[in-house]
Amino acid sequence: MPRQRRIDEDAFKTALRSLSIDQIMSLDNCKTSADVWGEICIKMNRGNNAENRRACFDLWKRKEYKPEQIINNLQQVFVLNKFLM
């Protein structure tokens, strides 16, 4: 039986998009005990505990997310939404 993922990647991406730019920029340099990981857990309707914070941290590192890419995507979505309104 395959191992069950602890963190849903789509929920993780949605939680990332809800963070401020400063929080996103800090993700590469913060420890698993940082409040921002707990905030991500809460936004994904997960408990803010060490195991879930570590799972978010591990997913961030494993997928090699880059803060600059996330911010650029946010800006593109913002411009597109503004254009469509």
Answer with the residue of higher pLDDT: 46 or 78: 46
Q: Is residue 3 part of a domain?
A: no
Q: Specify the DSSP class assigned to residue 46.
A: -
**Per-residue pLDDT tens digits for 15-47:** 999 999 999 999 999 999 999 999 999 999 999
Q: Is residue 2 part of a domain?
A: no
Q: What confidence category does residue 1 fall into, taking pLDDT thresholds of 50, 70 and 90? A: very low
Percent of the chain with pLDDT over 70: 84
* Mean pLDDT over each residue of the chain, to the nearest integer: 87
Residue 51's domain comprises 9-84
Q: Is residue 60 part of a domain?
A: yes
Q: Is residue 4 part of a domain?
A: no
Residue 37: burial class (beta carbons within 10 Å; 0-12, 13-18, 19+)? buried
Assess contact for 60 and 54: CB atoms under 8 A.
no
Task: Write the single-letter amino acid at 76.
Answer: Q
Q: Assess whether pLDDT exceeds 70 at residue 7.
A: yes
Q: Is residue 55 part of a domain?
A: yes
Which ranges constitute the DSSP H helices of the chain? 9-17, 21-26, 35-43, 50-63, 67-84
Report field, pTM of the whole predicted structure over 0.85: no
